[in-house]
Each structure stands twice: as C-alpha cells, then as structure tokens.
C-alpha cells in the first residue's frame, strides 16, 4: 500500500508513526512524496493495492493564480487514476489551512472531487466524523474511526522539569508553551494578546517551532513588543525529535488556540505524550480528545475567555499526575492493526 503524498518539507512524525504500526503488522508501505507535475501519475509507477491519501491541498492550490490553474488542470486530467486503486482518504481537516489563498467554497468542490474517487474514509474521533458528514454531502460509505496515533516512541523523554528549565534559563515561574509549526490558524497572535494582559508578571510564554513565513514571524515580534525574547521567547526553527522534551518538560501548560475547526490536532497528542496539561478552545473534537481532568477550555476566538483561564491556572499548583493515564488504543501497533483490517475489508469488497 502507499502513503500519498508522503511528508511536506521534512518527514511528518504523524505519518511515520502510522507507518511503523503498519510495518509491525507486516504491511509494506510505499512512501510517495508530492510532485509538481502530474503527481497522480506516480501511482501508476508504484501500482499499490491501497492508496492512503493525506492533505491533498497541494494538488489544487499553487503559489499564484497561474500555478493554481495548471495544478487544477493536471488534477482534473489524472483524477480518474484514483479509481484504479482502492483509495482511502484521511479526514485530517475540513479544508486546508491555506485559506488565505482559496475560498472555503472552492476548496470544498476540489476535495469533494477527490472524495468521490475514494472507497474509504478515516476519522480520528467521533466528533470529527460528525463534523465532516455535516460539511460534505457525498462521502465514501466505508468509514473507520480510530484514535490519533500516539508519539510515545517518537520522542525521547528522560529529562526532568528542573533539568529542562535550567538548560533554558527558566526560573520558578509559570511557563506557557505554544509548540509545533507556527501558522496563523493556530491563533498565536491571539495568545500573545491574552498573555500581555495577564496581571501576573511572573510568567513566560514559549513559542517554539518554525514560523510559516518571515512576514508572520515579524508579526509575532511586533505583537510581542518589549516582551520579545524576555517574557515572550520565540524559537523560530524546526525542533529535532531529540529536543522536543526540552521545551515541553520545561513548561507548565501547552496552549492551543485554533481559529478554524481542528479535526486531528497533533499538538494535543504530543501534550499527552509528555503529560503536560492543555489549555484549548472548547470545540467538540478537542473536548473528545483532551477532555480529561487537568485540562482547561475557553471560548474559541475569545481573547478575554483565554486570558481568564490563563489567570486562573497561574494560581493553581500544577499536578501532572491528574493526566498520567495513557490511551493504549493509540499505540502505533494497535492503530496499524485496525488500519490493516480496514484496508483488507475494502479490498475484499472490490474482489
């Protein structure tokens, strides 16, 4: 079977953990990267039994109007290729996060074209399944709901909070962390605005991850004002797996502030891996995934609500033991077994 497209810019740990789980269940996985010209033609070259599709926005969104027209023409010409294979769609987002370059209405049309060629669809929560079915009118009849694969074996985790804080020159203060690729849809500027209004000044905000653009990085600098690299510390770079624990184990809370509709929030899963409490918008998906004691919710796209929660948790003595239970159903090997069974069931329906 094939993962397509595989990775963006650098390998994706989410895909890699699923691949590890599939390979542990004796499934051969072909990693097919994206390609500028006629990407679907690669399927003919590799001829897999199953095609598992992730994040297809690069098939129909270009860097400008010219490349967008070309990409859509190439996709239209080659889309029938998907019907040759048993294709499965991973419903990780309602639409892509590149909403500034394409309208939601237009993107729904293109995703719907791809969905029509697929025989199966995969969701990472019941709430995500419900949202998707209310958003799209025609979906594959065969569906699977499984947990987001965990990252327990992906990141080293052997440094204590005290050690990590010492290495980062952090003192005995409340530390909030934003972690992962830093994009506008993650509401970073809203978090900064809420943070700056906190009455408690014995707090630090870590923003850790590569910014989506130089312009967005400049917006973060401007929004931070005189707190930049003082109480608001930004690490604008891709963090290797070996260093992830440094930032998450040093932090008291992981902040999520999705301004769109999250369906498959990897940052929330990373938080569970490091047993760090989460502060997140009160959406159906996030409440299902991280709605456990020790996590906190605020009204989505509401800075005052976020600020209130941040003020409250600053007064709480942190107790990570409240979140010490691990979802064993999200182990890569278990996820791989469920996916294999789903793939086989689809193949049997074809033959």
Counted domains in the chain: 2
My answer on whether 6 and 126 are in the same domain is: yes
> Cα(77)–Cα(85) distance, rounded to whole angstroms?
16
Please check whether residue 156 lies inside any domain of the structure.
no
Please check whether residue 106 lies inside any domain of the structure.
yes
User: Residue 250 contacts by C-beta under 8 Å, 6 or more apart in sequence?
Assistant: 161, 164, 165, 167, 168, 170, 175, 177, 206
Mean pLDDT per 10-residue interval, the chain, length 351 residues? 80 88 97 90 94 94 92 96 95 82 91 96 96 95 95 91 95 94 95 96 96 96 97 96 95 95 90 92 94 92 96 82 63 96 92 62
My answer on whether 313 and 231 are in the same domain is: yes
Which CATH number do you get for residue 299? 3.40.50.2000
My answer on whether 8 and 137 are in the same domain is: yes
My answer on whether 45 and 115 are in the same domain is: yes
pLDDT value at position 98?
Answer: 64
User: Residue 164 contacts by C-beta under 8 Å, 6 or more apart in sequence?
Assistant: 170, 245, 246, 247, 249, 250
pLDDT value at position 323?
Answer: 52
My answer on whether 306 and 240 are in the same domain is: yes
Structural domain harbouring 261 = 161-326
pLDDT value at position 99?
Answer: 58
My answer on whether 217 and 229 are in the same domain is: yes
């Amino acid at each position: 079977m094939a993962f397509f497209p595989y990775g963006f810019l650098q390998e994706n740990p989410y895909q890699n953990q699923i691949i590890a789980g599939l390979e542990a269940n004796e499934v051969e996985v072909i990693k097919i990267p994206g390609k500028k010209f006629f990407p679907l033609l690669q399927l003919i070259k590799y001829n897999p039994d199953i095609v598992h599709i992730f994040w297809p926005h690069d098939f129909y969104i270009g860097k400008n109007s010219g490349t967008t027209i070309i990409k859509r023409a190439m996709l239209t010409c080659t889309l029938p290729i998907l019907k040759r294979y048993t294709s499965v769609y991973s419903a990780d987002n309602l639409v892509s996060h590149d909403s500034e370059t394409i309208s939601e209405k237009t993107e729904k049309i293109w995703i719907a074209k791809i969905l029509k060629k697929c025989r199966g669809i995969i969701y990472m929560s019941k709430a995500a399944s419900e949202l998707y079915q209310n958003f799209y009118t025609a979906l594959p009849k065969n569906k699977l709901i499984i947990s987001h694969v965990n990252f327990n074996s992906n990141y080293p985790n052997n440094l204590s909070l005290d050690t990590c804080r010492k290495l980062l020159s952090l003192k005995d203060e409340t530390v909030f962390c934003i972690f992962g690729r830093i994009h506008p849809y993650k509401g970073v500027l809203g978090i900064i605005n809420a943070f700056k209004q906190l009455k408690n000044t014995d707090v630090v905000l870590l923003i850790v991850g590569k910014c989506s653009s130089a312009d967005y990085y400049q917006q973060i600098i401007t929004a931070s004002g005189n707190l930049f690299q003082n109480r608001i510390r930004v690490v604008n770079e891709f963090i290797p797996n070996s260093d992830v624990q440094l930032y998450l184990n040093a932090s008291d809370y992981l902040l999520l502030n999705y301004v769109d509709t999250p369906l498959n929030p990897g940052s929330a899963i990373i938080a569970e891996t490091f047993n760090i409490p989460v502060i997140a918008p009160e959406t159906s998906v996030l409440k299902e995934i991280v709605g456990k004691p020790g996590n906190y919710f605020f009204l989505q796209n509401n800075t005052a609500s976020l600020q209130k929660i941040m003020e409250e948790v600053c007064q709480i003595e942190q107790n990570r033991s409240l979140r010490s239970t691990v979802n064993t159903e999200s182990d890569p090997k278990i996820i791989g077994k469920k996916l294999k069974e789903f793939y086989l069931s689809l193949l049997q329906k074809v033959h």
